[in-house]
Amino acid sequence: MIDITLAESVVKILFVIVIITAAYIISTRNLLSLVSVYALQSLMLVLIAIVLYMLHNTWVLLAIAAITFASKVIIIPYFIATIQEKVRIRRDIEFHFLSPTTSLLISMGLMLVIYMVLSKILGGVPDENRFFFFGAVLGISLMLMGMMVTFSRKRAITKVLGYLSMENGVLLFGLFITELPFIIEFLIIIDLVIVVLLTTILTIGLDSTLEDYHKRLHRFHLWEEEETP
């Protein structure tokens, strides 16, 4: 058990870091650092879960923290980094509709809109639900920012990262509803891992021998525009 004001301020700091990572994911072109920033973002969620655990003392939160740490901080980033190395994509310079600056501005606007809409819907929430409110605002903003990444980038791997950061938004939101049954959180992570595996494997074709990679990649135009560093 820790002091509630301390917990609150720690969570607030973590919130800010999460927002910064989300902004980075939206604007960066370097794929390798994108993955590590995603891992960092997931780590912040783990920390938030742990702080909340110390506050509420429900074991579900600790379990969620453990699973998130294993899957999102270690396994998924490692997997994507390995794939990237094999596929040799380092940068995703193509943005479909939005340039990084515009997407940053839009996401700031989105956050404000969500704040206003949610405070209208949830208007009159009792004080104990303040965390729920902030979690909702940040979670949904994170989701929309991830969605922007998913739909504004061209490469499937970047799209996957956008989807992952959306999922982080959902998790962030879910963390503040402490009674969500654990089995459900667990199944969602399983689902996430499958989505990641499938989409990355699909992007490099269904075969996975290394010689075939290159043939397939040529066929799928995945590495035509490779850049010299």
Partner 1 sequence: MILIAFIACTVAALLLIAISYTPARMNLACTGQAILFTIITVFLLLFQTVPVSSFLIGNQFFFIDHLGIFEILITGIIFTLAAVYARGYVAGLLESGELEKGSLKLFYGAWALLLLIIVLAFCSDNLALFWIFAELTTITSAILIATLSARENIDAAIKYIFVASVAMLFSFVGLIFLFQTSRTVMGDGTLNWTALIANAASFPPGMMVAASALIFIGFAAKSGIFPFHTWLPEAHAKAPSAVSAILSGVLLNVGIYGILRMAAIAHQNPAFASITPIIGLFGVLTIAIAAFSMLPQKNLKKLIAFSSVENMGILLVGIAVATPLVIFWVLFHIMAHSLSKASLFFSAGILHRQYRSHLSTDAVDEIRDVFRLQPLAAWGIILGGLAIIGMPPFPIFFSKLFILLGLGSVSPLVLAVVLVLLFVAAVAFGYFVISAFTRVSPDGVSMDTDRYPTPLSMKVPIVILLCLILILGIVFTSGEISFFNQIVKELRF
CB 224 within 8 A of CB 87: no
Among 23, 115, 188, 214, indicate the residue that binds partner 1 (CB under 8 A): 188
Asked if 159 touches partner 1 (CB under 8 A), the answer is yes
d(CA 5, CA 124): 22
DSSP string, 116-169: HHHHHHTTT--GGGHHHHHHHHHHHHHHHHHHHHHHHB-SHHHHHHHHHHHHHH
Nearer to partner 1, 48 or 143 (CB): 143
Convert 137-146 to b/e letters by CB count within 10 Å (16 or more is b): bbbbbbbbbb
Asked if 194 touches partner 1 (CB under 8 A), the answer is yes
Asked if 96 touches partner 1 (CB under 8 A), the answer is no
Residues 6+ apart with CB under 8 A from 28: 34, 37, 100
CB 68 within 8 A of CB 105: no
Among 7, 18, 48, 139, indicate the residue that binds partner 1 (CB under 8 A): 139
CB 51 within 8 A of CB 43: no
Nearer to partner 1, 1 or 183 (CB): 183
Total residues interacting with partner 1, rule: CB under 8 A: 37
Among 180, 182, 214, 223, indicate the residue that binds partner 1 (CB under 8 A): 180
CA separation, residue 39 to residues 31, 47, 71, 125, 217 (Å): 13, 12, 10, 33, 27
Nearer to partner 1, 48 or 156 (CB): 156
d(CA 173, CA 143): 10
Asked if 187 touches partner 1 (CB under 8 A), the answer is yes
Among 24, 147, 182, 223, indicate the residue that binds partner 1 (CB under 8 A): 147
CB 65 within 8 A of CB 53: yes
Asked if 95 touches partner 1 (CB under 8 A), the answer is no
Asked if 7 touches partner 1 (CB under 8 A), the answer is no
Nearer to partner 1, 19 or 159 (CB): 159
Asked if 140 touches partner 1 (CB under 8 A), the answer is yes
Least distance from partner 1 to the Cβ atom of residue 116, Å: 13
Asked if 219 touches partner 1 (CB under 8 A), the answer is yes
Residue type, 107: S
Asked if 206 touches partner 1 (CB under 8 A), the answer is yes
CB 115 within 8 A of CB 136: no
Residues in contact with partner 1 by CB under 8 A are: 120-123, 132, 139-140, 143, 147, 150, 156, 159, 163, 166-167, 169-170, 173-174, 177, 179-181, 184, 187-188, 191, 194-195, 198-199, 202-203, 205-206, 219-220
